[in-house]
Structure 1
Amino acid sequence: MFQPLAANFAEATPVTDEWAGAARLTFKSGEEIYAQDEDADLIYRLVRGAARTSHLLADGRRQIGDFYYEGDVLGVEVGEAHRYSAEALSDCEVLAIRRSGSAAYDAARYERMIWKATANELHRAQSHMLLLGRATACEKVAHFLIDIAERFRGDLIALPMSRQDMADYLGLTIETVSRMLGRLQADGMVEFFGARNYRIRRFGALSDLAAA
């Protein structure tokens, strides 16, 4: 499964110098990238598709850690094992390098890459804590839609995650998430095209609600 970069990979997403020489892996939608409590010997950069991280609690409940898109790094841990599992939300392609480094990476480049990835994960964790602390379910959903929209170029925004994923990420029930999405659409703030695509119609109003 662990394959070197191929010279004839014509459609491969260009990589930065920091990740040059990394292994390229592919995962089908729904396939596990790494498991909870598995040795965290690799870190990953997503170059195509979307992924989620999740943690299974002792009582069987699931907490979504975050959602990752092209260019994001996942698998960064402070310990020796993954606290979360990671699964592909769509067909994915990732670059992978070993945390211990290798002869392919000079120390300065590797240290810079790890520092950047760790800082991004800290920012994600802080943002998620602030999101969970918001007063109302509608504020949480509004903030979530704004956050996803900021990751996309263009008018139409894709939601690769399910409503249950959104609920587990926001600490809400799936019924509440669906109801809040319906309310935001009824108020003219967003417009949905099926279950997985939307457009923000009144950005100022949605942003004010998300920041409440």
Structure 2
Amino acid sequence: MLAVSNTSHPQLIRLTEGRTADRAFGRVAPITVYAVGSEIYGQGETSGTCYQIEFGAVRICRLREDGRRQIVAFHLPGEVFGFEPDDIHHFYAEAVSHTALRSFRQASSGEASLELLKLTMRSMIRAQEHSLLLAGQSSFERVATFLVDMMERQGGVAQVDLPMSRQDMADYLGLTIETVSRTMTKLRSEGVIQLAGMRSIEVLKPAYLQRLCR
């Protein structure tokens, strides 16, 4: 890991939730950069610090009793993660790509508590949507819903970054990597998406892709 200042790194992007996080938490720590696959915090470790992504991406995971990994969330630039209902991390967090984070300690004022509640509710809503995704959709619908979610979280742009691997997508969607790959290939063959790079796609038919989610 490498700590850098806010002004010295050329890849820093504008934060979409910066003001909310600044009000919700106290003193801002120096930015810390994590290499691909680096652990940010471990399952069972003491909590109390929250993180906001400057650039990169983070996956939130849990180890099942059988040793398999379950990915429960991905976080993108500007998003905040790491808060828990108690003082223990019930999941672990890893850098999906080259990732820079700001860390915060929770502030104690009433305004800070309200802002923290807003951030927590956003996370809870996304977790509930993920549960519904796994429970009620076909494999094709799951992949389509995931791509629409990534598109909307990146501002509705046609070119969508997918920093995670196909295996990450499969673990998040409760599918096999073969099923994810077949579905992506089918969407390409139908002209819904096209590859725009190693880890990005261009959505050619966004309205059609959204209809597939229902």
Contact 1:76 1:121 in 2 (8 A): no
Number of the residue aligned with 1:171: 174
2:34 matches 1:27? yes
AA of the residue aligned to 1:140: R
Deviation, 1:95, is: 1.7
Deviations along 1:17-41, whole A, 9 cap, x unmatched?
A: 4257311322122111111111112
4+ residue segments displaced more than 3 Å: 5-15
Deviation, 1:68, is: 0.4
Which structure is higher in strand share? 2
Number of the residue aligned with 1:94: 101
Deviation, 1:195, is: 4.2
Q: Could you say if the C-alpha distance between residues 123 and 187 of structure 1 is closer, same or farther in structure 2, counting changes exceeding 3 Å?
A: same
AA of the residue aligned to 1:189: V
Q: Secondary structure in 2 aligned to 1:129?
A: helix
Root mean square deviation, CA, Å: 2.3
Q: Secondary structure in 1 aligned to 2:202?
A: strand
Given candidates 156, 162, 176, the residue that maps to 1:159 is: 162
Deviation, 1:119, is: 0.6
What count of residue pairs does the alignment treat as equivalent? 205
Deviation, 1:159, is: 0.5
Deviations along 1:95-151, whole A, 9 cap, x unmatched?
A: 21224x3xxxx6033212311121111111111011112331000001001111112
Q: Give TM-score, length-normalised by structure 2.
A: 0.86
C-alpha distance in 1, partners of 2:125/2:137?
Answer: 21
C-alpha distance in 2, partners of 1:139/1:73?
Answer: 27
Q: Secondary structure in 2 aligned to 1:60?
A: coil
C-alpha distance in 2, partners of 1:96/1:82?
Answer: 15
Number of the residue aligned with 1:131: 133
AA of the residue aligned to 1:57: R
C-alpha distance in 2, partners of 1:8/1:188?
Answer: 41
AA of the residue aligned to 1:109: E
Identity of aligned residues (%): 37
AA of the residue aligned to 2:169: M
AA of the residue aligned to 1:27: Y
C-alpha distance in 2, partners of 1:144/1:150?
Answer: 10
Q: Could you say if the C-alpha distance between residues 125 and 180 of structure 1 is closer, same or farther in structure 2, counting changes exceeding 3 Å?
A: same
Q: Could you say if the C-alpha distance between residues 10 and 145 of structure 1 is closer, same or farther in structure 2, counting changes exceeding 3 Å?
A: closer
AA of the residue aligned to 1:22: V
AA of the residue aligned to 1:39: T
Segments of structure 2 that go 5 or more residues without pairing to the other structure are: none
